[in-house]
Structure 1
Amino acid sequence: MTQPVRVAVVGAGHLGRHHARLYAGLPQAELVGIADVALERAQRLAATYGVSALADYRDLIEQVDAASIAVPTAGHFAVARDFLDRGRAVLIEKPFTRTLPEADELLALAERRGATIQVGHVERFNPALIAAKGYLKDPLYVECDRISPFTFRSMDIGVVLDLMIHDLDILLDLIPSAITALDAVGVQALSRHEDIANARLTFANGCVANLTASRVATRAVRKLRIIQRDSYLSVNYGERRALLFRKRPDAPDPATIDPTTIADAKAFVYDKLITVEEIPLSLHDALEQELVAFLHCVATGARPACSGADARRALELAWRILDSIRANRDRHVPQ
């Protein structure tokens, strides 16, 4: 396919606006139209780029090769099904679907129609993560922190499917080992679903991961920490920064050092014991790279970086965590 990929954006909300903006500026894409059940919202966004606005996305299907689906999670399945059934490729914002049966039906339909599914786990394209993966060896312990202030978005799901699922997808991509144990807790704060959650995962290879997600925090934090046998990786998604900590080859044994002779312990540690390296990276826009990758897959038939099958694995793990949260909650309810 040498011509630009004809694309539609379904959903003119927070994420849909960014998809439309980026498609409009990419030479690989021709933004054809924007659909939203709130027609006025679609019209305002479409007017910015001189494209059509519709209330019914189905009127766009025959006009495009692909679509970004940025509607609330509850609508992912129906919208994606209609595009896939006509052989159109879809980029579905995370989570893939709300339930596993919905995900399975879409995967089967895509297989029958020969259509591409990519799911918007955008952190896979974060330059800090991409740079850090080059130093990944044998993770022993992983910490994932993803917290943010309350945004009033994604109220049809809880924080596990809203935020934690990003880190579940990353963990499954980074650690090629089965999960042998899982325990989780969650708390409702403002919404009808869990707004704070913590999960601890144990992998068959011995690695342990601890994940915390909150959407009622006072500030936004998106960090990944990986402890390995000979190094420690720190990834800050928000700042697009990656650091590598390693023990100096000539570091003295700390047990042989008299602490009373050290004026500044922190300075001593980072001068004599540990090296800190800023990992070089390319400061690209993750969402733009995600859309470029999707367009490439549509044009060439290549496998997406985060396929429907990949996203289904993350969704299945998310539901295991939700089951654990419910079980722990029920266990502590007074009888």
Structure 2
Amino acid sequence: MSNVVKIGLLGVGKMGQNHLRNLAMLKQVEIGFIYDFDKDLCEQLSTQYNVPVSENLEKDLQTIDGVVIVTPTFTHADYIKQVSKYVKNIFVEKPLTDTLESSIEIVKLAKENNLNIQVGFIERYNSAVVALEKVIRNSSHIINIDFSRTNKVSSRITDVDVVIDLMIHDLDLALHINGKPKKIEAHGYINDNMIEYARAIITHENGSFSNVVASRITEKRIRHISATCDDMYIDCNLLSKEVFVNKQTIEQYLENVSISSKEETIDVRPQEGLLLELVDFVKLCNGESVNVPNEDDGLLAMEVANEIQKQIMEAK
């Protein structure tokens, strides 16, 4: 049986509160403290969840087994450095950091100090993605995967562009499924020196392609993946949690042969991805062997994101 793990939470904004809610649901977790510059909000959440507020972060970091960092992206690197002095197990929301340079620095820090870093690529835990992966693994060859992600509301985020804000999720999935990139081609739309629409075609070392689109200017919320394999086509809606598989079937009518496509619906059970990834983080804190997105995955996604940003900005 797993030991009780004491976890500190840095950042209690909207996403941080989602983490707090899920951490509070886990019986094997003791929330050691919450920490945020917004002291009034901290006190409110402290009362609601009956958890302490950190008044001395350096001191409190020495009392816990793991830290969950849900602060603004540009602060990730500094908080990881601060936390790593006292805590080995670190969960950081995506992306790993806000720049390629700082991501490289954090990966080096993790190797030198034997840190366990889990990056919050939550879409790996999306039940529809899990179902999609199982189907894809049964295909003999993946030709292309299309990823589309749009969210007009996300335009309120001004510290990072659409590549880091939205596309990074699908870059991680593309790399996770198809492996390392061989070639990247990117185009985009820039507004006020910020990339708001991006499209990238990634040619992977395994010969497959990933076509990734992200937008903060599209007036519709879309989370969609479609995969073309040599023996099937898979359609996946991440919002409705629906996965459809189309395969060719051969039906004979007298002397003639008619080829038609048969659609199968995959049963996707609803589950909260955030809860599942935090369960994995608890296992990580307990020293269990668990396959989670780590600092190397975070760095690879940032390397691809950086190249996409570079190509788009240079073409303006």
Amino acid at match of 2:199: N
What stretches of structure 2 of length at least 5 have no aligned partner? none
How do residues 231-250 of structure 1 correspond to structure 2 at under 5 angstroms? 231-250=232-251
Q: d(CA) in 2 for partners of 1:251 and 1:148?
A: 46
Q: State the Cα distance separating 1:86 from its structure 2 match.
A: 1.6
Deviates more, 1:11-20 or 1:98-107: 98-107
| C-alpha contact 2:107 2:299 (8 A) present in aligned 1 | no
Q: d(CA) in 2 for partners of 1:118 and 1:133?
A: 20
Q: Secondary structure at the match of 2:53?
A: strand
Name the residue aligned to 1:305: 292
Among candidates 172, 176, 188, match of residue 186 of structure 1:
188
Q: State the Cα distance separating 1:250 from its structure 2 match.
A: 2.3
CA 1:218 to 1:55, structure 2 compared with 1: closer, same or farther past 3 Å? farther
**Pairwise CA RMSD of aligned residues?**
2.1
Q: Secondary structure at the match of 2:286?
A: helix
What stretches of structure 1 of length at least 5 have no aligned partner? 258-271, 330-335
Q: d(CA) in 2 for partners of 1:251 and 1:175?
A: 36
Q: State the Cα distance separating 1:192 from its structure 2 match.
A: 4.8
Q: State the Cα distance separating 1:59 from its structure 2 match.
A: 4.2
Q: d(CA) in 2 for partners of 1:156 and 1:17?
A: 20
Q: d(CA) in 2 for partners of 1:82 and 1:11?
A: 14
Amino acid at match of 2:86: R
Q: Does 1:323 align with 2:310?
A: yes
Q: State the Cα distance separating 1:203 from its structure 2 match.
A: 2.4
**Higher Rg of the two aligned structures:** 1
Amino acid at match of 1:121: F
CA 1:304 to 1:38, structure 2 compared with 1: closer, same or farther past 3 Å? farther
Q: d(CA) in 2 for partners of 1:320 and 1:194?
A: 13
Q: d(CA) in 1 for partners of 2:252 and 2:151?
A: 39
CA 1:236 to 1:56, structure 2 compared with 1: closer, same or farther past 3 Å? farther
CA 1:106 to 1:197, structure 2 compared with 1: closer, same or farther past 3 Å? same
Name the residue aligned to 1:269: none
Q: d(CA) in 1 for partners of 2:60 and 2:240?
A: 37
TM-score (norm 1): 0.87
Name the residue aligned to 1:165: 168
Name the residue aligned to 1:290: 277
Q: State the Cα distance separating 1:41 from its structure 2 match.
A: 1.9
Name the residue aligned to 1:145: 148
Name the residue aligned to 1:261: none
How do residues 111-150 of structure 1 correspond to structure 2 at under 5 angstroms? 111-136=111-136, 137=139, 138-150=141-153
Output one character per residue of 1:152-209: Cα deviation in whole Å (capped at 9) or x when no partner.
5532110001110100000111113x423222122234x6521111111222433222
CA 1:12 to 1:194, structure 2 compared with 1: closer, same or farther past 3 Å? same
Amino acid at match of 1:91: F
CA 1:59 to 1:238, structure 2 compared with 1: closer, same or farther past 3 Å? farther
Amino acid at match of 1:107: V
Output one character per residue of 1:29-64: Cα deviation in whole Å (capped at 9) or x when no partner.
111211111211222222211111236643431121
CA 1:188 to 1:58, structure 2 compared with 1: closer, same or farther past 3 Å? farther
Name the residue aligned to 2:83: 83
| C-alpha contact 1:87 1:110 (8 A) present in aligned 2 | no
Q: d(CA) in 2 for partners of 1:150 and 1:2?
A: 39
TM-score (norm 2): 0.92
| C-alpha contact 1:35 1:56 (8 A) present in aligned 2 | no
Name the residue aligned to 2:217: 216
